[in-house]
Structure 1
Amino acid sequence: MSTVDMSIELNGLLQLKTTKHQLSVPQLVEKILARREGTLTSTGAVSVETGKYTGRSPLDKFIVSDAVSSKTVEWGPVNQPISAQRFDALYKKVLTHLKKQDELFVFNGYAGADKKYQLPIQVVNEFAWHNLFAQQLFIRPSAEQKTNDDVKPFTIVAAPTFKADPETDGTNSETFIILSLERRIVLIGGTEYAGEMKKSIFSVMNFLLPQNNILSMHCSANVGEEGDVALFFGLSGTGKTTLSADANRHLIGDDEHGWSSSGVFNIEGGCYAKCIQLSEEKEPQIFNAIRFGAVLENVVLNQNTKVADYNDNSLTENTRAAYSIDSIDNTVLPSVAGHPTAIVFLTADAFGVLPPISKLTKEQAMYHFLSGYTSKLAGTERGVTSPQATFSTCFGEPFLPLAPTTYAEMLGKKIDEHNVNVYLVNTGWTGGEYGVGERMKLSYTRAMVQAALEGELANTETVTDAIFGLSIPTHVPGVPDEVLQPSKAWNDATAYNQKATELAAKFKANFKRFNDVASDISTLGGPRV
């Protein structure tokens, strides 16, 4: 099936009388209710359930091996190849399936708030609520802005009720998320989880932006009144959303950003927040953003009052809320700002041995960026009975089509070019490992982050951690001095050294994959054991 044939097939689908283009939020909500895809909550948000799949399906994600990707993509368990022939055949099946539906929904918008680097996107949905999700998460065109740009759009085709046959289609299961960089198509089927659409476009941007010397980043970003920009990197559970949502600073975005020669810009037009145990008291911005137009995924409602019970995890721990970024009061619009003055790497160290805050050299920043460390806790997954180190390179390995060192080298150059201060902040345990010590007080972490962002730690007196080589401030306003050095926070010095050496060895073992291409970073930036 040629590219021309594929375009004709898709255009025929888009021109059907039953295909609805650019419906407004109220129109989509009406469709969702009429089609019984979801219900309204007490605040006016749409509540839906995603069925069997309540999270991403990383084992079902593929990239088509073609002229564009074959020599550029880092192939492996994360980026699994699939042939163009397999893709073409499956794509034709999906289009045939979609033509049989009563209605289809199309959204045209953008990824990338900086107009110089915007990517036009087109989203074709079988479900009305998926189309509403796309409206919330991607950037909507303004009234005067047209989407028929010179740049060919990437098209997402999402057919959740179409199930693949692994034997004939070459997939691993009934579910598939396939990215064709040459065709500029994302093909999704067999899953109703809407996050696959969001992350697929992020993967596309992670491929395209570095080609324009733009660092694509899985991080949140905010900016102070003086224009000082801060980036927050961290895996799930490290406090990235909590710490970046600062009432005294303006939110640029909460998850995906690009860093160009002009500064930082948000890739998205919305937020996709975890909302398990969400409360108005702890996270008022997110809580109050869940109103008309927002989408709640797998959140249990009181059947009489339609009030969301954010503490109920009977459907999944991964409950989600999707809402437009302009639902947050102190947001920068458009979501563009200058160059960062500070970068914060967040880790929840359940071993209790990393400092609460430490200042990193460029090499240490690149090392910890490539490591992407945090820890799983006992009880969070079946078989996890004690803290386990977990690493996700660049804090977003599942979405990186290129070699991770590509992104790390770009980060190092930008740190040098803009003289950025980089900090590693441990929001995990102190005074002992999980089960012995205690979780770092949020008030202490906030005080440390504030001091870092205000420049108070740039030239402060530090001591060097003997095992990890990190520079630890001897004093931070609002934080007891004894808390700052883990070796002094533990009652048992021998137990501390043993546990710290154990974690350092895990860092070393994980980094072996990069030793051939980043030996200097390993030597200068890694632990000293």
Structure 2
Amino acid sequence: MSAINQMSDLNQLVNQSNVHHQLSVPQLVERVLSRNEGSLTHTGAIQATTGEYTGRSPHDKFIVKDDHSTDAVNWGKTNQSIEDETFIKLYHKVLDYLKDRQELFVFKGYAGADERYRLPIQVINEFAWHNLFAHQMFIRPTEEELTQHEAEFSVISAPTFKADPEIDGTNSEAFIIISFKHRVVLIGGTEYAGEIKKSIFSVMNYVLPKKNVLSMHCSANVGKEGDVALFFGLSGTGKTTLSADPDRKLIGDDEHAWSNFGISNIEGGCYAKCINLSFQKEPQIFDAIHFGAVLENVVLNPHSHQPDYDDTSLTENTRAAYPLHHIKNTVVPSVAGHPNAIIFLTADATGVLPPISRLTKEQAMYHFLSGYTSKLAGTERGVTSPQATFSACFGSPFLPLAPSVYAEMLGEKIDQFDSEVYLVNTGWTGGAFGEGERMKLSHTRSMIHAALEGELKSVETYLDPVFDLQIPTHCPGVPDDVLIPKKTWKDPNAYDRSAHELANKFHENFKKFEHASKEIKEAGPSYGRL
């Protein structure tokens, strides 16, 4: 008997007469509007707001510590523990609360486009618009698949249920709790839909490595010749934007698996940041926001209902959720071969990292474990300006296992499939945040295009004396001076000070990886190396 069946109250809940199962997009849109959960935009998309929580709440995320997880999970500030008994009590409180709701909504689908490794899931929502979000973000079953579908993991989302930290063992009224033993994700106190998506990603990051499959926080696309590219990076670094390339087919924008058979998308949709979105800059994403899409915390014109993508009055973390088929140029099903190129994206708020550099395998492992970037405004609750951070594997908040598990798997696959790796700075140039300017998207696109087309292989390079990175001295479509960060700064001495400061941060952060090989440790910045 599965853990879910042991928790029979869940089956009772989803079989109540007030529960709607597998509603279509039009039906869900009707429910959203009739329940006053959101508004209709001029293109037919649904717009909803999330109240106080406009981003993920990492301090409110827990994993249940029990006989399934105790020895496997990398416990700490990221993976906070909560006792099984405490979870069970809160679980039943939430279910009792939901039983009295006027309506509930259930979506059944999959995480994982590769049928060999996909996870059957069900998402139980208090809000119709959250169920529409789940319908668009996960992989939708065919009618035949639905008849055979048995959920192996359940997400229960009760945003209007507020926890009492003193009684319920949480840190606040909000909570996101994963139980691998009971195969349940319990969410409450937050209306931010991204928690639904990211909780299942965390589950897959636990499940897939046990099957010798590398789970990755990255976007992916494929060229006309079948060449595959991966784009790693935290929220706001450009994964979605840069993978939506009109000359390449999109595999997916955020979460992928790399098995011995190749790359596969974990999701069935995209969750794109849409602050300052325009047709001129990102036509594919702009055109994807029509009927069935969900706009989160985007301000609408009260008369025309046209989105104002430049309006940050609610948050800078405005989002658009839409299914993959809203993008014209996609791979169906979303699977492809092994990656020819891997791009590490970092939004460097100090403005000292080069816009592109080619990495050796050892440097790739160093920068993958480091996962340096800047948290951008709005992606997490309380972040209002860029903050330098190191997020192992470019996805530390979603990794239940030790970073070394994912890093070792990546290193093995780079060796096995001879993938080239590049570090690309989509952050600031000419100075730090507040002084310099954000890297031009057109320049970044040109650099990535050159990398994917092999145009940087034979170009003369400049060895950065601080970070020990090989920087191409020429790239089609990019002024040469842009390629060397120090040349973009008005004050070279100020650049040196900032670069040295960042190099020291790299070294300090890497102390946590004391078991890494000497070759990987020495692949970091040459300045300040002991």
Q: Hey, what's the Cα distance between the residues in 2 that align with 1:345 and 1:456?
A: 18
Q: CA deviation at 1:389?
A: 2.7
Q: Which residue of 1 aligns with 2:52?
A: 52
Q: Hey, what's the Cα distance between the residues in 2 that align with 1:17 and 1:434?
A: 54
Kindly provide the CA deviation profile for residues 185-222 of structure 1, in whole angstroms up to 9, marking residues without a partner as x: 00111111111100000000000111111111111111
Q: Is the 8 A contact 2:37 2:48 kept in 1?
A: yes
Q: Which residue of 2 aligns with 1:341?
A: 340
Amino acid paired to 1:53:
Y
Q: Which residue of 2 aligns with 1:397?
A: 396
Q: Is the 8 A contact 2:4 2:183 kept in 1?
A: no
RMSD across aligned positions (CA): 2.4
Q: CA deviation at 1:510?
A: 1.4
Change (3 A) 1:17 1:392: same
Kindly provide the CA deviation profile for residues 335-387 of structure 1, in whole angstroms up to 9, marking residues without a partner as x: 10110000111123233322221110111111111111123689999999997
Kindly provide the CA deviation profile for residues 377-423 of structure 1, in whole angstroms up to 9, marking residues without a partner as x: 89999999997532211111111100011111111111111101000
Kindly provide the CA deviation profile for residues 11-63 of structure 1, in whole angstroms up to 9, marking residues without a partner as x: 11121111111111111111112222122111111111212211111111110
Q: Is the 8 A contact 2:55 2:380 kept in 1?
A: no
Helix, strand or coil: the match of 1:278? coil
Q: CA deviation at 1:143?
A: 2.6
Q: Which residue of 1 aligns with 2:311?
A: 312
Is the deviation greater in 109-118 or in 448-457? 448-457
Amino acid paired to 1:263:
G
Tell whether 2:9 aligns with 1:17.
no
Q: CA deviation at 1:486?
A: 2.9
Q: CA deviation at 1:261?
A: 0.6
Q: Which residue of 1 aligns with 2:142?
A: 142
Q: CA deviation at 1:233?
A: 1.3
Matches within 5 A, 1:311-330: 311-330=310-329
Amino acid paired to 1:56:
R
Q: Hey, what's the Cα distance between the residues in 2 that align with 1:52 and 1:348?
A: 26
Q: CA deviation at 1:333?
A: 1.1
Q: CA deviation at 1:508?
A: 0.7
Q: CA deviation at 1:491?
A: 5.5
Amino acid paired to 2:187:
I
Is the deviation greater in 303-312 or in 211-220? 303-312
Kindly provide the CA deviation profile for residues 120-139 of structure 1, in whole angstroms up to 9, marking residues without a partner as x: 00111111111111101000
Where does the alignment leave 5 or more consecutive residues of structure 1 unmatched? none
Q: Is the 8 A contact 1:141 1:147 kept in 2?
A: no
Change (3 A) 1:6 1:189: farther
Helix, strand or coil: the match of 1:192? coil
Kindly provide the CA deviation profile for residues 430-466 of structure 1, in whole angstroms up to 9, marking residues without a partner as x: 3444455444333332221111101122344323222
Matches within 5 A, 1:358-507: 358-375=357-374, 389-490=388-489, 492-507=491-506
Q: Hey, what's the Cα distance between the residues in 2 that align with 1:308 and 1:214?
A: 40
Is the deviation greater in 370-379 or in 496-505? 370-379
Q: Which residue of 2 aligns with 1:292?
A: 291
Tell whether 2:510 aligns with 1:511.
yes
Is the deviation greater in 300-309 or in 246-255? 300-309
Change (3 A) 1:387 1:271: closer
Helix, strand or coil: the match of 2:144? coil
Q: Which residue of 2 aligns with 1:114?
A: 114
Helix, strand or coil: the match of 2:74? coil
Q: Is the 8 A contact 1:389 1:506 kept in 2?
A: no
Change (3 A) 1:67 1:382: closer
Q: CA deviation at 1:142?
A: 1.5
Q: Hey, what's the Cα distance between the residues in 1 that align with 2:126 and 2:377?
A: 40
Q: Hey, what's the Cα distance between the residues in 1 that align with 2:117 and 2:147?
A: 14
Q: Which residue of 2 aligns with 1:39?
A: 39
Matches within 5 A, 1:253-272: 253-272=252-271
Q: CA deviation at 1:250?
A: 0.7
Q: Which residue of 2 aligns with 1:187?
A: 186
Amino acid paired to 1:476:
C
Kindly provide the CA deviation profile for residues 147-182 of structure 1, in whole angstroms up to 9, marking residues without a partner as x: 645x75100011111111111111111111110001
Q: How many residues are matched? A: 527
Q: Hey, what's the Cα distance between the residues in 2 that align with 1:284 and 1:496?
A: 35
Q: Hey, what's the Cα distance between the residues in 2 that align with 1:518 and 1:80?
A: 28
Q: Which residue of 1 aligns with 2:67?
A: 67
Change (3 A) 1:338 1:38: same
Scaled by the length of structure 2, the TM-score of the pair is 0.94
Q: Which residue of 2 aligns with 1:208?
A: 207
Where does the alignment leave 5 or more consecutive residues of structure 2 unmatched? none
Amino acid paired to 2:284:
Q
Matches within 5 A, 1:143-162: 143-146=143-146, 148=148, 153-162=152-161
Change (3 A) 1:311 1:434: closer
Q: Hey, what's the Cα distance between the residues in 2 that align with 1:347 and 1:360?
A: 14
Amino acid paired to 2:45:
A
Q: CA deviation at 1:424?
A: 0.8
Change (3 A) 1:43 1:239: same
Amino acid paired to 1:129:
W
Is the deviation greater in 507-516 or in 225-234? 507-516
Amino acid paired to 1:116:
R
Q: Hey, what's the Cα distance between the residues in 2 that align with 1:59 and 1:400?
A: 15
Helix, strand or coil: the match of 1:389? strand
Q: CA deviation at 1:5?
A: 7.3
Q: Hey, what's the Cα distance between the residues in 1 that align with 2:153 and 2:309?
A: 35
Q: Hey, what's the Cα distance between the residues in 1 that align with 2:23 and 2:462?
A: 59
Amino acid paired to 2:237:
T
Q: Is the 8 A contact 2:138 2:269 kept in 1?
A: yes
Q: Is the 8 A contact 1:228 1:340 kept in 2?
A: yes
Q: Is the 8 A contact 1:136 1:323 kept in 2?
A: yes
Q: Hey, what's the Cα distance between the residues in 1 that align with 2:382 and 2:61?
A: 25
Amino acid paired to 1:78:
T
Amino acid paired to 2:206:
F
Q: Equivalent pairs: percent with the same residue?
A: 68
Q: Hey, what's the Cα distance between the residues in 2 that align with 1:421 and 1:376?
A: 26
Q: Hey, what's the Cα distance between the residues in 2 that align with 1:217 and 1:138?
A: 16
